[in-house]
Structure 1
Amino acid sequence: MSSTGSTYGGSSVGAGRTHQASVGDTDVLAVSPVEAEHLVTDTAEDLSVFDGLTVERAQAIIARYPQARSALLPMLHLVQSVEGRVSQAGIQFCALQLNLSAAEVSAVATFYTMYKRKTCGEHLVSVCTNTLCAVLGGDEIYKKLGEHLGAGGKRVGHNETAGEPGAPGSITLEHAECLAACDLGPVIQVNYEFYDNQTPEKAVELVDALRRGEKPAPTRGAPLRDFRTAELELAGFWPEDEPGYRATVDGPSAAVETLRGAKLAEDRGWTAPAMPNPPLPEVEKK
């Protein structure tokens, strides 16, 4: 009888040959679904898509911040406004402009869901499927849109596109975590603009209008832009007619439902007690 040693505080339970001892080493690259060459990030990419204007805009973004690396988030939006996604070329462009490594840029670009690794359609349709919206019909809306936008019996899934990505009328569908509009659920965003109190039927009408080239007015907030224009604005660049643009953006954005509690308190004279203001402890000097 071979000795198995002891484990778990002297017990022989679980002792014996380990899994490592009983099987050979596994070649993780051989079984990886990602081809080995895709794991190499130091390949020089063609950055010609980022023309002189893009470089000028990148430098303008960097100039807003005391430290260049702080400009990374709007820089990634700038890249998406050019390509409709964050490609390896876009990652290298940001790295070169900000004097960062490609790994540092990739860590940020892959952390946030707003940065897309596949080219988006002309419009990004985000359906809130978090708890309250889901209960009110968000899951049904997402399923209905997937079926409606699909072809050949195949539904369009999360981050998949109906039509040629980037082409007029193309739509990328995603299910989104909370869109911060629970009082107006179920909600949809198109290129981050709100369409409140949706139903499956209204959602289908909305995407059909988008596919026809129309831009239905959002429930509140700014007029609808296409995805790449919205990304350019998120990077901090506005249309030439800035006064006219700001007049539309600065329009009412709060809904009646959102303000109902505040209005009720005002009508009934309700006030909240004053917040306590205890003295802060002294901080030890360094």
Structure 2
Amino acid sequence: MVLSEGMRAEASLEQLRLEYHEARATFRKTRDYGKDYRESIASAHALIAALLNQWLNLPEHSGEVSIVCGEIKTVLKDTAGSRFTERYRQEKSFLARALWPLLSEGKPTPRQANFMAQLIKPQKGINFYDLLSRLGQPTEPLGWDVQVTYALALIRSGNDEQAQKRINLLHQKVSINHTHNPKGSLDYGPEAGTGRYRDYVHYLQLCEVLHALRTAVSNDHTSARKHIENARKHREPLSPEAARLVAEIVLRIEEQKN
């Protein structure tokens, strides 16, 4: 019997589900925050990534969409736990890393982007830091990776007004922190791999590029070019994340010219 690509993918997904439930059961039994805990988290992340891939490849009006979306939410909730814990913040950071390439390199529909925005929506505690930044005070750089991913999801979903608001709020916070500490940086831990360390300039540049994308989508090419110019002033060469979006923006402008 020759298995189709879809059947292989389903078999692989079932294996990941099995590994996740086994690892989770083992950790709940041993309460070992060493190897067993790491394996339970790693298996959850592998399953979430596979579920996201399956969901994106489903026909938009398929009855399976709601089922897969529900499973993604359940695994995330079980893994992240309480909103007031470090584990929750770490899971949001993982989700930002998982969703960013899907939003920046893929072609999600507005409906898909809206679901991703729901998943990555920043926790309410971030509102307190928004308030402090309005008063000109530096703040803890909490969830900046989550906020840029959320802003990109809003752009992709067509929610321009909310995207602009979110980018402005983050840009203000980063600018204030950078003014007070030009060498400031963030460490997202070993789980983030090559993206573990991010300095403030990285986020200043991304905010400009997100503004450029938002205005390019709205056909405001003059503003888009200005934001790209500002992004390049922060650092050359552009970060990989910024470069990918700038390439898209330039292509959009050229296509709309023709």
TM-score normalised by L of structure 1: 0.21
TM-score normalised by L of structure 2: 0.23
Ranked by relative contact order (alpha carbons within 8 Å, sequence separation 6 or more), the top structure is 1
Q: Which has the higher strand share?
A: 1
Q: Which has the higher helix share?
A: 2
